């Protein structure tokens, strides 16, 4: 079953939070909240891209969110967050399609580079970036300062 890719809108927030709670990589990052997703959609409505279908758990004909990716554009580079695909829809090309959509958006806004952070022991995460033409930068370290509870 092919998926439809589309930007998220405020009506999707509950479905997005449910997708991330059940299907995303959730360690070592700030908690997802309604307010945070709403603020993200308000700030950059094209950044959160959803993969949806009309089969499976939600019932025949009902749209279900099966995957997501955030491609953030800060005017300098594009950084990707929250790539997630429902377990029952994995290894069907959904992740690859979301990454292609993120890359398309990055090119459209004029970004010269796109990057993603993946936990070192997340084998499927590492594999999907490798499979889609990303290279690991072993000579960099990430430095982080939480500003609230992140």
Residues near ligand COA (CB under 6 A) are 23-25, 83-85, 90-96, 116, 118, 122, 124-125, 127-128, 131
CB of 65 to ligand COA, least distance (A): 12
CB of 120 to ligand COA, least distance (A): 11
CB neighbour list of residue 5: distance below 8 Å, 6 or more residues apart: 49, 50, 51, 97, 98, 101
Nearer to ligand COA, 13 or 80 (CB): 80
Nearer to ligand COA, 41 or 84 (CB): 84
CB of 137 to ligand COA, least distance (A): 15
Nearer to ligand COA, 20 or 44 (CB): 20
Nearer to ligand COA, 94 or 114 (CB): 94
Q: How far is Cα 98 from Cα 87, in angstroms, rounded to an integer?
A: 15
């Amino acid at each position: 079953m092919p998926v439809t890719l589309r930007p998220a809108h405020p009506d999707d927030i509950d479905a997005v939070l449910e997708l991330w709670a059940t299907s995303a990589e959730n360690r070592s990052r700030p908690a997802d909240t309604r307010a945070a997703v709403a603020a993200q959609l308000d700030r950059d409505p094209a950044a959160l891209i959803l993969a949806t279908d009309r089969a499976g758990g939600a019932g025949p004909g009902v749209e279900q969110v099966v995957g997501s990716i955030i491609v953030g554009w800060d005017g300098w580079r594009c950084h990707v967050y929250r790539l997630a695909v429902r377990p029952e829809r994995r290894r069907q090309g959904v992740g690859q399609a979301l990454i292609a959509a993120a890359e398309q958006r990055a090119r459209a806004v004029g970004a010269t580079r796109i990057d993603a952070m993946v936990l070192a022991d997340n084998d499927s995460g590492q594999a999907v970036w490798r499979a889609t033409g990303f290279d690991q930068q072993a000579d960099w370290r990430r430095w982080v300062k939480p500003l609230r509870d992140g």
